[in-house]
Structure formats: structure tokens, C-alpha cells
Amino acid sequence: MKEYEGHKTALVADVDCTAGGKPLCDSNGVRGFPTIKYGDPNNLEDYKGGRDFDALSKFASENLKPVCSPSNIDLCDATQKAEIEKFQAMSADELDAAIAAKDKEAADAESTFKSEVEKLQKKYEQLQKDKETTLENIKKSGLGIMKAVKAAGAAGKDEV
């Protein structure tokens, strides 16, 4: 944060999501701590790189700069400008509905992921239990004695 203190176009900030910053964290999809976000304040992206100073500094120098957005339209290419203009042409209600639909898609994806992971976890637990039962049955079927007999037989042959 000291490296970017007073910077004209980049802000590096720390938000306490358990206190006064909770509404900001909730609105930006922060679910775990620590979480690092970057980009346009109205459209923050998840940072997935290294967490040491060198990795963060390299990422910041390469990425913390003004980006295409409605407030920086001059930084947009033709495709991005067209998309922004399409959304600007929508009424507030249409835009709210479109945002709600995309938020629902994201929530559905998260829900599906959690549900499928839960199924995998249950399957894993059953497979683990089955494996332990099978291994226990193998031991009870005389494997240990077989190995002991073989070892004793091999030892007896060496002595001859």
C-alpha cells in the first residue's frame, strides 16, 4: 500500500470485511479472507497470482492502470465501446433485469458447483469406507499368516 500511496491512477486499499467494510465486501463477492480484487471499482476481478511482495508488485506495475469502462471510454476498442453503448441505451429497469439475470446465472453456477462437490465428497467417503472394509476383510482372510508362513519358509530354506 505504501508503494502506491498518493498514486494518481491506482489505489491499493485494505478493507475489513468483518466490520464497516462488510457491505463493500458483500457487493463484490468476497467470501473468504484474504481476498485480493483489482480493476475498475465497479467491476472488480479476482486476483489469482502470488501473494509475496515481488509477485504483487510485478502484477501491480503491469495491471494497475486505467482500463476500459464507461468513465474511460477512450481506452476501449470498438467491440468494448459497442457493448458499453448497448448497455447505456437500456432503461434502468432493463439494465437491472439484465444484471439480475447474470447474477442469477452466477449464483446458479456456484450452487451447482457446491452441490456437485457435496456429491463427490459423499462418493469419496463411501469409496474410502468400502476400501477400508475390503482391506480389513483381506487381513481377516489370512493374508498376514500367509506372509508369515512364506517368510518362515524362506528363512528355513536359507538355513539348509
Question: Rounded to an integer, what distance in angstroms lies between the CA atom of residue 37 and that of residue 11?
Answer: 11
Candidates 45, 20, 17; CA nearest to 31 is 17
Question: Rounded to an integer, what distance in angstroms lies between the CA atom of residue 14 and that of residue 1?
Answer: 8
Q: Predicted confidence band at 131 (pLDDT cuts at 50, 70, 90)?
A: very high
ω into 70 cis (within 30 of 0)? no
Candidates 23, 159, 129, 9; CA nearest to 69 is 9
Amino acid at the residue 135: L
Q: 160 pLDDT exceeds 70?
A: no
Q: What is the pLDDT of residues 19-71, one digit of tens each?
A: 888 888 888 888 888 888 888 777 888 888 898 989 988 988 888 788 888 98
Whole-number pLDDT of residue 79: 96
Question: Rounded to an integer, what distance in angstroms lies between the CA atom of residue 28 and that of residue 43?
Answer: 8
Q: What is the pLDDT of residues 73-118, one digit of tens each?
A: 999 999 999 999 999 999 999 999 999 999 999 999 999 999 999 9
Q: 159 pLDDT exceeds 60?
A: no
User: 33-37: long-range contacts at Cβ-Cβ below 8 A with a sequence spacing of 24 or more?
Assistant: none
Q: Can you name the residues that pair with 37 across neighbouring β-strands?
A: 46
User: What ranges do the domains of the chain cover?
Assistant: 1-67
Whole-number pLDDT of residue 156: 67
Half-sphere exposure of 129 (CA within 13 A, CB side): 6
